[in-house]
Amino acid sequence: MFSALSSYFSPGRCPDSRELNQLFVLEQQCRKNVIPSQDQLLLLQQLWHAFYPSQADAQRCLNESFAHAEQATSSEASQTYSADFSLRSPLWKRMGFQREDPVSDVRGGGELSLHCLLFFSTRYTELCQSMCDHQRCVRRTSGMEKGYPWAAAGINVTRMVAECFNLMGPMGSKGKYATSARQCWDLLCQEADIVQSFAELFCVAFQLVDQHFNAIGAGYMQFNQVLVHCKEKLMAALAQRGLKSLQDLRCVLRLPDPDQDAHNKVEERIQSSRRHKHGNEQRATDAVLLNQQAC
């Protein structure tokens, strides 16, 4: 029994020299403060436009934010805000940051968390919007006792995944990835763009956290407990032999494929449109027959 489990869950190996170079890049990204620099400002602008593609979208969401009193204080409510990109806006809180200035939140996950949030919002746009909208609705209707703020949660998930690979230790201490035996270095380091590879794993982890959080009906104060549970589950999945792709990892974690879900929703919309069109055509045909009978 023990030998069977040992072959299924393997401690793996330490990273090789190529992987060490890639992991060093990730470690630096984890520790890189968001000032923001010009490059970081561009990341923030891209994240803004992923959620608010046009000024009309931003204005609509801004009006909705004030209608639901998402501004933090009465002094903020008295200010006039523009729908243009700004480093200080209620629209950052609508996205799930804790404050109207996102930079103060992002510091917890370094620049890497910005890359992860941006990747999720552009690569899995429909899933991202669905998660964010659902949690915002839950928070409103529960008086902020339930649900979680999407962006702030994502920053914590970035740290969680970084800790899974020992890129950083508890409380932000230096990680020991160079001497850490893992079964999954191939999965993380198989692509040349290591930041994108990490971001893909981040998306899987965030999907796992969201699923478990919703399944147990967790409140905001339970979010850290959810993170602990999901970290253990993710590490157990990553320790399994034979993981070759993110699809394999999703299968082990029993997570739906967001690309397939998006495809299914498109097909449903097409079928619904066809049924609607067929119904209109049938009603038009019935009207003609009724007119002929009347004559």
Residue 242: which residues within 8 A CB-CB, separation 6 or more?
248
Does residue 93 contact residue 72 with C-beta atoms inside 8 Å?
yes
Kindly state the DSSP code that residue 168 receives in the 8-state scheme. B
CA distance 6 to 267: 43
Sign of the four-CA dihedral 173, 178, 179, 181: positive
Residue 23 corresponds to which tokens in the numbers above?
């992991």
Domain ranges of the chain: 2-33+107-256, 257-295
Write down the pLDDT at residue 170.
Answer: 79
End-to-end C-alpha distance for the chain, whole angstroms: 84
pLDDT tens for the chain, 295 residues: list them.
434 434 455 678 999 999 999 999 999 999 999 999 999 999 999 999 999 999 999 999 999 888 776 544 444 544 667 889 999 999 999 999 999 999 988 877 899 999 999 999 999 999 999 999 999 999 999 999 999 999 999 999 999 999 999 999 878 888 999 999 999 999 999 889 999 999 999 999 999 999 999 999 999 899 999 999 999 999 999 999 888 999 999 999 999 999 986 545 545 555 555 555 556 666 766 666 667 666 6
Residue 170: which residues within 8 A CB-CB, separation 6 or more?
163
